[in-house]
């Protein structure tokens, strides 16, 4: 099976699933599916709706793997050099932004998922077999049970800051269970 890969993470998922990772940019998805260049992908409902995937797909398994999100990355040393009152203000603003960000993400995800349904795509929860498949991938990718890459991880994998360092790290914790990688401490980003 040829699997759409947009980045190192989706390429690695394809490899661990026994598929052939195939580089395809989002604007090229329709033609890639029509011509058989790719046969499967992991995507968000946003990309599915924006690329009019109902023209070339008929099923969407809602794994919650690719939720729209934004992150602010902070240099730990620079942050810790700030006065305590400024650190406190930044953390409070971050908590407010994180809550609002997840609300906006959930709303957008629900709207785009409904759009897929409205255009005839059958939206389903992942089957036990699919969940077990993701868990098997996780065991190969994150053998320690935490979000740490196996020795075979690509060198380009990006470290995720520790949740003790920044609140944005908590957002990644939502994706980690899909791959069974424990919390979102130091490890590999799974988009």
Asked whether residue 33 is assigned to any structural domain, the reply reads yes
Q: Which residue has the higher pLDDT, 186 or 72?
A: 72
Asked whether residue 51 is assigned to any structural domain, the reply reads yes
Asked whether residue 189 is assigned to any structural domain, the reply reads no
Q: How far is CA 152 from CA 75, 135, 148, 159, in A?
A: 28, 17, 11, 15
CA-based nearest residue to 62, from 121, 126, 109: 126
End-to-end CA distance of the chain: 22
Asked whether residue 154 is assigned to any structural domain, the reply reads yes
CATH code for position 29: 3.40.190.170
> Residue 9 has what pLDDT?
87
Asked whether residue 190 is assigned to any structural domain, the reply reads no
Residue 124 binned pLDDT confidence (cut-offs 50, 70, 90): very high
Asked whether residue 188 is assigned to any structural domain, the reply reads no
> Residue 146 has what pLDDT?
56
HEC states along 49-102? Answer: HHCCHHHCCCEEECCCCCCCCCCCCCCHHHHHCCCHHHHHHHHHHHHHHHHHHH
Alpha carbons 9 and 60: distance in angstroms, whole number: 20
Alpha carbons 150 and 104: distance in angstroms, whole number: 33
Answer yes or no: are the C-beta atoms of 157 and 119 closer than 8 Å: no
Segment 132-152 mean pLDDT: 71
pLDDT tens sequence across 151-190: 443 333 333 333 322 333 333 333 334 444 443 333 222 3
Which percentage of the chain shows pLDDT scores above 90? 51
pTM equals 0.66
Asked whether residue 191 is assigned to any structural domain, the reply reads no
**For residue 132, what are the domain limits?**
2-179
Number of domains into which the chain is organized: 1
Q: Treating both helix axes as pointing N-terminal to C-terminal, what angle do 128-141 and 8-16 enclose, rounded to 10 degrees?
A: 110
Asked whether residue 116 is assigned to any structural domain, the reply reads yes
Alpha carbons 9 and 21: distance in angstroms, whole number: 11
* Partner residues linked to 3 by β-bridges: 21, 40
> Residue 147 has what pLDDT?
53
pLDDT tens sequence across 9-33: 889 999 999 999 999 998 999 999 9
Segment 1-8 mean pLDDT: 91
Answer yes or no: are the C-beta atoms of 188 and 144 closer than 8 Å: no
Alpha carbons 31 and 51: distance in angstroms, whole number: 11
């Amino acid at each position: 099976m040829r699997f759409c890969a947009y980045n190192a993470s989706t390429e690695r998922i394809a490899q661990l699933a026994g598929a052939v990772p195939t580089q395809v940019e989002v604007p090229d998805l329709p033609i890639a599916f029509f011509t058989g260049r790719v046969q499967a992908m992991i995507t968000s409902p946003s990309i599915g709706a924006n690329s009019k995937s109902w023209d070339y797909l008929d099923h969407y398994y809602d794994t919650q793997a690719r939720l729209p999100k934004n992150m602010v990355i902070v240099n730990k040393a620079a942050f810790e050099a700030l006065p305590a009152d400024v650190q406190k203000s930044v953390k409070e603003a971050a908590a407010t932004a994180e809550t609002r960000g997840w609300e906006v993400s959930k709303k957008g995800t629900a709207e785009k998922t409904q759009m897929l349904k409205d255009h005839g795509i059958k939206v389903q929860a992942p089957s036990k077999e699919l969940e077990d498949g993701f868990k098997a991938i996780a065991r190969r990718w994150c053998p320690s049970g935490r979000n740490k890459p196996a020795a075979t991880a690509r060198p380009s994998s990006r470290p995720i800051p520790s949740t003790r360092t920044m609140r944005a790290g908590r957002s990644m914790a939502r994706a980690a269970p899909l791959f069974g990688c424990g919390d979102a401490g130091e490890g590999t980003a799974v988009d």
